[in-house]
Structure 1
Amino acid sequence: MKKLDLSKQEKEVVETALSYWQEADRLSSEKVEELRGTIDEKSFEWKVLARYAFWIALVSLIFAVFSLFADNTLVRFIEGFYETPNIVFCLFFGVVAVVFYFLGFRNKSKYPEKTFSNETLMLAGAFSTAACIGFLGQILDRGTSNYTLCFLLSIVIYAVLSVKLDSKLIWVFTLVALGIWFATETAYRSNWGFKFWGMNYPLRFTIFGFLLTAFAVWGQPRINALRPFQSTSYVIGLLYTMIALWCLSIFGNYSSFDDWSQVRQYHILYWGILAVVLSLALALYGMKTKDNASRDIGFVFFILNLYTRFVEYLWDNINRTIFFLVLAVSFWFVGRWAEKIWRKDDAS
């Protein structure tokens, strides 16, 4: 009989469950031994290797592009294309994107279990789409420096593709493009200033992230086509909110570095308090509702905000040795706290 291949951690979980059921008289000793004989430990984590191999392939591809411009021979070769019209590059990357999407969709239909290779093809298609839209912006630009329509077009393209190809990865690109469009549109409306309606970028994106999270929770479940991407939107919305709020707690709602540098940090302490309270509330909500994403994001930003306040108010006020000693002790307590949460999760 073919055995079930499990990772070392998965096998330990199954064996722990079997021992528990045996001690609780739910399973006989003979049945437990029979079930233990049907599982086996994987000799090698090929799934992990596949994931890292595809990541390394993408990173290597990016480095290859950068190295291309560092090679004098290739630079001279590329200089021959400088006079090539932008429409040629736009069409070229458009065709490349279509090819990658076609291959990704075909592979996903034939081999749905090949998650990493399929998503890599989709990712390559998404990058090609971005390049195509970038050259399209160069074609349509008439000296107005208004690229927001191109970003808006990319949102529509990515959204349609993510729904048609059922790809959460492309949906991430949709939400990233949405954030870029929001930033450029508000900057364009404020004549490329740092403030729009009295809000700088961190404050704007705090509100933007909150609205995106609210849409993911209450609006997206009502739209059948977008329902599969609800969890992705929720996580991206939380990240937008918490990252922007963390930046807001450091820089406040100031529009220039000179204005901010003349203000003492305690003048914007209320943003720091809001960031700490919100991240702690998110972590507690996640622990109470068994929502791992909310718990992890809330916990990470709670710690990040606490240590940011720690550095802001104590770096110039106490001895460096004492500073790092307090930092070490506090991190030890954080580790103990995280260990308790981890063991509690394992026990439950």
Structure 2
Amino acid sequence: MQISKKEKEIVDKAINHWESKGLIDNQKAKELDETLEIKPFNWQSLAYYSFLFAVVSLLIAVISIFADKALLDLIDSLISTSYITKSITFLGLSALFFWLDYRYNLKKKRKKYSKEVFSFFGCIFLAIASGFISFLFGMEENPGTFILGLAILYFILAVIRKKELLWLFGITALVIAFGAITHNIGKENNLFVGMNFPMRYTIFGALILVATYFINKTDKLKPFVDPTYWSGLIIFFMALWFLTIFGNYNSYEKWLEIRQYYLWWYSLLLLLASFAAILIGIKKEDPLLKNIGMSFIFLNLYTRYFEYFWDELHKALFFGIIAVSFWLIGKKAEKIWDSSDG
């Protein structure tokens, strides 16, 4: 049986205790010890997170390009063809990469994460094609509905191909579509149903977490529970953190007029949500929820410290306190690491 180093130490102590109490003899203790094997380094997890960071980085790069109209105009001028030609070209490239993904998955049983490169570029080219199609229909000023359609298409492809990567593209497109649609509806006063962006994305993140419950009840959607769950957590807590900084104000000028301590109850809300995440994470044995709760407690406290005491406190003392606190955290982590290595 393969177990971790920490688990091996616990089992060894148990075996030694049983042997010292005469519950088992020396021969039996050796036999039990020989059945244990320390787990090798988890290369699969390293591969997963490496490819995940690569995908996220490339996705951010692509989103950054499409957020820059000047850069889009430059790309458009370099490719001096009609929007119809561009749309058909990139749709063809998208279809080609999705077909390569299908063929590659038939032939290769291993390389679980590297083979996702074909579906990744299929999604990217599909997004580019969708952008040119939106230009073709004159929807560049109001792209939210079009992006929503793209999100639905990603979700359908994810279910058909049973791929988390496609589902994550769907969630990303849904996040962008939500922002674009609500911005267009409330562009007169920059509020949507009385909510600015941090407030509405806090609600949006909570709705994604609620959706996770229903996704888990549907057999065809169960493979997508985890990416939906952690996406909802990140969106909810990040939006709530931004809410503690900017409040529910609809303009930069209005925000400058208020003092940060007026927003104390948003900070309290984030603190309560973080503690709740830790308690539920411990009770449910959910390390992701627990770690997010702990991370946002620290982020909340340091943000408030920066807001309330930056002007009153000497900068050297401020950064000195941060240095000492992180040194103490590091020492605690080092102690845990040393004890686990034996």
Structure 1 length-normalised TM: 0.80
- SS in structure 1 at match of 2:191: coil
Letter in 2 for 1:103: L
Distance 2:78 2:313 in 1: 60
Q: Which residue of 2 aligns with 1:70?
A: none
CA distance 1:60–1:156, shift in 2 (3 Å): closer
CA distance 1:95–1:249, shift in 2 (3 Å): same
TM alignment of 1:220-239, pairs within 5 A: 220-239=215-234
Letter in 1 for 2:275: L
1:242 aligns with 2:240: no
Deviations 1:15-63 (A, max 9, x none): 5466346424578344256446x77967x96984797589669969998
**1:166 alignment partner, one of 146, 150, 162:** 162
1:95 aligns with 2:92: yes
**1:256 alignment partner, one of 238, 251, 255:** 251
> For the aligned residues, what is the CA RMSD?
3.7
Number of matched pairs: 325
CA deviation after TM superposition for structure 1 residue 237, in Å: 0.7
Distance 2:14 2:102 in 1: 44
**2:187 alignment partner, one of 191, 197, 204:** 191
Distance 1:58 1:254 in 2: 30
Q: Is the 8 A contact 1:276 1:305 kept in 2?
A: yes
Letter in 2 for 1:126: C
Q: Unaligned stretches of 5+ in structure 2?
A: 65-73
Distance 1:225 1:201 in 2: 32
Distance 1:77 1:306 in 2: 44
CA distance 1:197–1:34, shift in 2 (3 Å): closer
TM alignment of 1:133-212, pairs within 5 A: 133-141=130-138, 145-191=141-187, 193-212=189-208
CA deviation after TM superposition for structure 1 residue 111, in Å: 2.4
CA deviation after TM superposition for structure 1 residue 231, in Å: 1.6
**1:122 alignment partner, one of 112, 119, 137:** 119
Letter in 2 for 1:168: E
Higher relative contact order (CA 8 A, sep 6+): 2
Deviations 1:142-164 (A, max 9, x none): 67x22122111111110011111
**2:279 alignment partner, one of 276, 284, 296:** 284
**1:299 alignment partner, one of 290, 294, 306:** 294
CA deviation after TM superposition for structure 1 residue 14, in Å: 6.9
CA deviation after TM superposition for structure 1 residue 253, in Å: 0.7
Deviations 1:203-238 (A, max 9, x none): 000011111111112x21222221211121111111
Q: Which residue of 1 aligns with 2:82?
A: 85
Letter in 1 for 2:12: S
Distance 2:51 2:267 in 1: 40
Q: Percent identity?
A: 29
Letter in 1 for 2:151: I
Structure 2 length-normalised TM: 0.81
1:12 aligns with 2:5: yes
1:328 aligns with 2:323: yes
Q: Is the 8 A contact 1:194 1:200 kept in 2?
A: yes
Moved more, 23-32 or 89-98: 23-32
Deviations 1:228-249 (A, max 9, x none): 1112111111111101110010
Letter in 1 for 2:103: R
Q: Is the 8 A contact 1:203 1:244 kept in 2?
A: yes
CA deviation after TM superposition for structure 1 residue 324, in Å: 2.0
Q: Which residue of 1 aligns with 2:28?
A: 28
Deviations 1:260-292 (A, max 9, x none): 111110111111111122112212211222101
